[in-house]
Amino acid sequence: MPQAQSVAAADAVLIAAWQGGDEQAAAELVRRHARALARFLAAAGAPEADLDDLVQETFIRAFRAVGRFRGQCQFRTWLLTIGGNVLKDAARRFQQVRVVPLDDDLRSRDGDPHETAVAGEAEGRLREGLERLPHMQREVFLLRAQQGLEYEEIAAALGTSPGAARVHYHHAVKRLKESLQ
């Protein structure tokens, strides 16, 4: 956990510098967190074509509200929460069904055709399973499994308790396992 604390401390220094007018500090915060934010948004169902706009909108909202960031969780966790809200707002605007794409590096382009077909079917079942999860279970699952956040961080980001986050994660894993069988 010392690395997480040093990241949080470095983020706090950058936030203070940005609030003091240092544009480079804001650029550094974007550089440090944009890729993880884009992965989170893609896994949460953002279309690839909209990712850059959603990441940009998330940072705009975060920088406008940074005065309200009190360090109750890591900056990245707070940012992912804002990103989830940006995605919800966009979904309401577009009224589209969102697909949860898997990263390209998870897909193998070579190998046994049978194994490739089986993997493709499993990926489809996983995607469908993620789409069918209740909203809170899907967000907890993605924050834990994809972003590696601790339950305390997830609870702070989603406005729930660590115990409730554990329960949501447990139910999400159970449902996803069932969808893969």
Q: Looking at residues 92-103, what average pLDDT do you find?
A: 56
For residue 168, which of 134, 137, 139 has the smallest C-alpha distance?
A: 137
Domain borders along the chain are: 1-99, 108-181
CATH code for the part of the protein at 1-99: 1.10.1740.10
CA dihedral 16, 31, 137, 103 (to 10 degrees): 180
Question: What is the structure's pLDDT at 59?
Answer: 93
pLDDT digits (tens, 9 = 90+) for 106-159: 555 566 776 777 667 777 777 788 888 888 888 888 888 888 888 888 888 788
pLDDT digits (tens, 9 = 90+) for 20-33: 888 899 899 999 99
Q: Are 64 and 86 in contact (CB under 8 A)?
A: no
Pick the CATH number of 108-181 from 3.30.9.10, 2.60.410.10, 1.10.3720.10, 1.10.10.10: 1.10.10.10
At 53, the pLDDT band (50, 70, 90 cuts) reads very high
Mean pLDDT of the chain: 82
How far apart CA 97 and CA 55 sit, in angstroms, is: 19
Question: What is the structure's pLDDT at 82?
Answer: 92
Question: What is the structure's pLDDT at 34?
Answer: 94
Question: What is the structure's pLDDT at 131?
Answer: 82
Q: Looking at residues 35-63, what average pLDDT do you find?
A: 90
